Amino acid sequence: MKDKILHKAAEMFLNLGFKSVTMDDIAHELGVSKKTIYTHFSNKTALIKEVTDAVFEIVCTGINVICSKENNPIDELFEIKQFSMEYLKNEKTSPQYQLQKYYPKIYATLKSKQFDIMQDCVVENLKRGVKLGFYRDTIDVDFISRIYFHGIIGLKDIELFPLTQFSMNNIMGFYLEYHLRGICTEKGIHKLNEVITNNQPEKNAK
């Protein structure tokens, strides 16, 4: 039952937001009493903590699988972006922003773990891109990896990028192109243009 609660809660939080979904809502969707949920989770905060941990592990596993293929570094970044958007439901409610606003302690812990994972992944991507001639050999890998992470976090600020005006899928694509055009060699730009052309329907999806 605990796994069923986690699965349903994760689905509802990602689709509707951490703030708006109540324990009553989750119980109703599962067809159980709220008391049943409290048997496994002492309160909503405890449930959110376990949900975010579980989602983080699933997303990390998926990203690690993508990175283990050691594909072209530009293809790799677009594949990670596509996987993340599909799993996180295109972040239509900006769950990470809501987490930051209403559950700051959980958000701070999650952000620290995200940085550690993303730093390793992006640094490896940058080094491989330089080695293969897709990225300029003059870039500062540590700086670029950190500014990339900072930008990804910033895109989730719905005050800066209102969801009524910006699709998360679109702005993630715009940011990825922005990032790559700043570090690519001529060879890399050629590959980037090819990938963008091939992903055009996805890029324009709302």
CATH of the domain at 79: 1.10.357.10
| Rama region for 91: left / alpha / beta (φ>0; ψ in -120 to 50; rest) | left
**pTM of the predicted model as reported, rounded to 2 decimal places:** 0.85
For the chain, the residue count is 206
DSSP string spanning 68-114? HT---HHHHHHHHHHHHHHHTGGGTT-HHHHHHHH-HHHHHHHHHHH
The number of distinct structural domains making up the chain is 1
Per-residue confidence in pLDDT tens, the chain, 206 aa: 999 999 999 999 988 889 889 999 999 999 999 999 999 999 999 999 999 999 999 989 999 999 999 889 999 999 999 998 887 755 555 777 788 889 999 999 999 998 988 899 999 999 999 999 999 999 999 999 999 999 998 988 888 988 889 888 889 999 999 999 999 999 999 999 999 998 775 444 44
Q: What is the residue range of 83's domain?
A: 2-203
Give me the pLDDT at residue 203, please: 41
Residue written as token pair 């067809």: 31
- Cα–Cα distance list, 73 to 34, 45, 139, 178, 202 (Å): 47, 38, 15, 15, 19
Using the CB atoms, write b or e for 124-154: b if 16+ within 10 Å. Answer: bbbebbbeeebbeeebebeebbbebbeebbe
Give me the pLDDT at residue 104, please: 94
d(CA 48, CA 196): 36
Q: Using alpha carbons, select from 83, 86, 153, 72 the residue that is nearest to residue 118.
A: 153
